[in-house]
Chains A and B, each alone.
Chain A
Amino acid sequence: MLTLEHIEKSFHQETVLHPVTLTVTAGNILSIVGPSGCGKTTLLRCVAGFLKPDGGEMYLGDSRLDTKKAAERPVVLMFQDALLFPHLTVSENAAYGLRHGRRRLSRPERKQETEAMLSRVGLWEKRNHYPRELSGGQQQRVSLARALLLQPDLLLLDEPFSSLDAHLRQELRLWVRDFLKEEGVTALFVTHDREEAAIMGDRMLVMQRGHVLQEGTPEDVHKRPAGPDVAAFIGEGIYLDGTYYPGSSLEAASEGAAAVVEHAVYAYGWTFYRIHLEADGQQTVIRSEESLTPGQKLAVRPKEGVSDD
């Protein structure tokens, strides 16, 4: 179990992390999501040991984490890029930590574990290739194999899919999530994509400007946002007179809150419309039987007799 207590960090008087407190229970994945620049990478680098927090404490299991040097923490950070070593083959890359890192094994053990892991990530045939001969997704899989061979108590992932194209990203997300769950890895997963956060995390944490806005299951965060800021970031529903309404409980009507259509969204066989309120710019997505055009004005109101669930 990972526990962060009141972790703070500033750069030149600019506070990037206001005291952040969170826990991840063993074997679970916590997604951290928030807009660009909110301090996600800074937080991960503090946990990995590349940055020294200005205050607070970190524990992994029973032992204090933040007093150890980065190389000695039982934690592996995976960067946005796969960062495979260009002078080593796929299997040498994967085995790096078993030869030079925290978990040194004898040559035969190394070979056996590396080959088993490469088979599991589906790259055994490529074991003697060099990284430049692999696709971006394959490189990230080798990078994951290299990290997991160390059997870290905690895996940190900083937007590992953001350099991949949308199709591959979607495929790899699911694959990595299942793989991590199978291996029982405790992980912090950082992304700026709320959909990705919901897919990857058992729980998700919404951050903004260095503050934790909400922590909960993806369903909680989507259906019961902790406030207008979370609702605005999630973009699935709006507050009307202080009550939260998800898009599914709203309908276009002749009277209600004035709104403007932004664009249509085609998904899962339905047509949705992203709208924003004229009054305060809150955004949500509604379904409408009649076809709407961008820029069109309309009014929305809560559907009769529908609860917010």
Chain B
Amino acid sequence: MRKLLLLLLLAIFVFPVLFLFLKSITFSWRYPDVLPTAFSMRAWEALASEPQLLPAVGMTLFIGAVVVVLNLLLGIPAALALSWVDFRGKVAVETIFFLPILVPVLAIAMGLHITMIRLGIADHPAGVILIHLLPTLPYTIRVLRGGFDRLDPAWMQLGETLGAGVFRRIATIAVPIMAPSLRSAAVLTFVISLSQYVLTAIIGGGRVTTLPLLYYPFFNSADQAVIAAFSVLFAVLPLLFLFVWETVSSAAGRLLRP
């Protein structure tokens, strides 16, 4: 069963990336050849020679990271309240939190754009970061709420009666137990932020250049190898994010083990 699942995961996620990678270094690949017959690094060289590429990757990572941090900062209290606290109008609040996903974000973005121009954060990464909260925060709240539902408050009280202070209780009980939810929320947020084109284009006004803003115009070029190389880059960024997240969290986890 486990093996089957792993195979399925490989088929769905790894195989397409491998295929894209292969395609990106292909010079000639025609029917009926199973594998390419000639290779070339031309597509990667073309990418590397694109002067905007590195700054765009940097901007994408920066915006993604800040959006993840903000998502956690805002999502944790909201999810905590929805899960642990009973208050009147809870269903209404839940619906409002989920609204950005039900209403076309574009409509909201247009309205927010005007506000942002007044505030002077349009055409600026800050505005892009704020607008990226719209398609991400609803998912974060959902996912984290599930995490809090599984975190019995009694565990935290037990930590208290054993004499652990509030920050220790959070670091050694709440965070490890909620680790899967935190990871899901962070990766989901990062991927959603990474793939925003329209929102970034509108609010960024073309001056905040992220990877998708470079990527989509490339589709006009018919060079499939270059598109493939670009796509590989796209696929690698979330993996990189996941790798950093896992490394940091497992190091922290080891440090705090009793």
Q: Return the CB mask of B236-258 against A: 1 if under 8 Å, else 0.
A: 00000000000000000000111
* CB of B61 to closest CB in A, whole Å: 30
For chain A, give the interface size range.
20 to 34
CB <8 Å contact, A100 and B161? no
Please give, as numbers and ranges, the residues of chain A lying within 8 Å of B158 by CB-CB distance.
Answer: 77, 79, 83
Q: Tell me which of A67-75, A134-142, A183-191, A203-211 binds B.
A: A67-75
Using CB atoms, name the residue of chain A closest to B169. A100
Cβ of A5 within 8 Å of any chain B Cβ, yes or no, is no
Known interface pairs A83-B155, A92-B258; A100-B177 also in contact (CB < 8 Å): no
Indicate which residue in A48, A72, A83, A100 contacts B258 across the interface (CB closer than 8 Å): A100
Please give, as numbers and ranges, the residues of chain B lying within 8 Å of A43 by CB-CB distance.
Answer: none
Cβ of A198 within 8 Å of any chain B Cβ, yes or no, is no
**A93 to B179 CA separation, bound complex (whole angstroms):** 18
CB <8 Å contact, A150 and B163? yes
* CB of B50 to closest CB in A, whole Å: 45
CB <8 Å contact, B163 and A83? no
CB <8 Å contact, A110 and B258? yes
* CB of B243 to closest CB in A, whole Å: 21
Judged by DSSP, the binding face of B is: helix
Please give, as numbers and ranges, the residues of chain A lying within 8 Å of B162 by CB-CB distance.
Answer: 76, 96-97, 100-102, 146-147, 150
**A88 to B165 CA separation, bound complex (whole angstroms):** 19
* CB of A128 to closest CB in B, whole Å: 13
CB <8 Å contact, B165 and A85? no
Q: Return the CB mask of B155-177 against A: 1 if under 8 Å, else 0.
A: 10111111111001000110011
**A71 to B163 CA separation, bound complex (whole angstroms):** 4
Using CB atoms, name the residue of chain B closest to A81. B154
Known interface pairs A81-B154, A86-B177; A48-B159 also in contact (CB < 8 Å): no
Known interface pairs A75-B161, A100-B168, A101-B162; A88-B258 also in contact (CB < 8 Å): yes
Please give, as numbers and ranges, the residues of chain B lying within 8 Å of A24 by CB-CB distance.
Answer: none
CB <8 Å contact, B155 and A70? no
* CB of B165 to closest CB in A, whole Å: 6
Please give, as numbers and ranges, the residues of chain B lying within 8 Å of A98 by CB-CB distance.
Answer: 258
CB <8 Å contact, A71 and B152? no
Cβ of A95 within 8 Å of any chain B Cβ, yes or no, is yes
Please give, as numbers and ranges, the residues of chain B lying within 8 Å of A85 by CB-CB distance.
Answer: 155, 173, 176-177
**A103 to B164 CA separation, bound complex (whole angstroms):** 10
Please give, as numbers and ranges, the residues of chain A lying within 8 Å of B159 by CB-CB distance.
Answer: 96, 100-101
Cβ of A87 within 8 Å of any chain B Cβ, yes or no, is yes
**A97 to B177 CA separation, bound complex (whole angstroms):** 18
Residues of A within 8 A of B (CB): 48-50, 70-72, 75-77, 79, 81, 83, 85-88, 92-93, 95-103, 110, 146-147, 150
Q: Which 7 A-B pairs have the closest CB atoms?
A: A102-B163, A101-B163, A99-B258, A101-B162, A97-B162, A95-B258, A100-B164
Residues of B within 8 A of A (CB): 152, 154-155, 157-165, 168, 172-173, 176-177, 179, 256-258
28 A–B contacts, CB within 8 A, in A order? A48-B161, A49-B161, A50-B160, A71-B160, A71-B165, A75-B161, A76-B161, A79-B157, A79-B158, A83-B152, A83-B154, A83-B155, A85-B155, A85-B176, A87-B179, A88-B257, A88-B258, A92-B257, A93-B258, A95-B258, A96-B164, A97-B163, A98-B258, A100-B159, A100-B172, A100-B258, A102-B162, A103-B163
